[in-house]
Amino acid sequence: MTAQASGIDTRLLRAQAVLYEAGKLALSHFGALASLPVEIKQNGQDIVSAADREVEMLVRDRIAETFPDDGFLGEEYGLSARSSGYTWVLDPIDGTSCFVHGSRSWCISIALLKGGETVAGLILDPSADELFTAVSGGGAFLNGRPIAVDSRTDMQHGLIGVGASFRVPPRAVSGFIERLLDRGGMFVRSGSGALSLAHVACGRLAGYYEPHIHAWDCLAGLCLIREAGGWTADFAADGDLMRGGPVLGCPPQLSEDLLDLIAATSAERAA
């Protein structure tokens, strides 16, 4: 085992333990929503709860106890650069709107980067007691069992997850959905991009597309899909994790079809 592999494996084990602790904290807030403080972010459309902030601080603190020289990028408290070359990218609760309304479509997502490359991804769905894990070159797993994308599905028989946000024009989403329906496909929207990507990795969804998403929402899920035998479009290829961008992940046989729908939607908007 190389020193780098040993470092990744050690961090993965620590992250799993931390995620289970964070999941218990999040569930304690989920069970007491009537008393949960919720705020509107400056853009007026995103929301943040006390649960988001507490979960992020717990994960940051626990990781720092063992790996004090690792960097951290979290949705709520931003980037903290360190010297080890490793960076953790965390969404403490992906699907906050679902969370605060009592819907169980939310999760905790964390990716591990080494020199800018995603080398591990973990997504915990506390409500379902499901932990998705992947290490670059080591496969993808759900509660310790290997998972794979659906290699037999097609556009007409699979479900395509679609994400939306205020950061893109409505037509960027509705145009894609219209074309998908015209091709005989069907879409679902769960409210959590990270959890949707994990569901692509285990074959529950045939693909996931969102015109704009943040790094903390998707890096772990994209790692899961690749390690589960799937295909993902380049995300933040220039290394700018703060800007975000479009995300697409699916089994290899669907990549061209989905890219065609996206290109046609983009062409319509540019016309």
**Binding-site residue ranges for Mg(2+):** 75, 91, 93-94, 217
DSSP structure class, residue 63: H
The burial class, CB within 10 Å (0-12 / 13-18 / 19+), for 15 is: buried
The H or E element containing residue 28 is helix 3-30
CB neighbours of 173 closer than 8 A, spacing ≥ 6? Answer: 162, 163, 164, 211
How far is Cα 183 from Cα 178, in angstroms, rounded to an integer?
A: 9
b/e per residue 171-205 (b: at least 16 CB within 10 A): ebbebbbebbeeeebebeebbbbbbbbbbbbbbbb
CA proximity to 187, closest of 26, 22, 196, 139: 196
Cβ count within 10 A of residue 41: 11
How far is residue 197's CA from residue 214's CA, in Å, rounded to a whole number?
A: 13
- In the annotated binding site, the residues are 75, 91, 93-94, 217
Contact 187, 193 (CB under 8 A): no
Which of the 8 DSSP states describes residue 118?
E
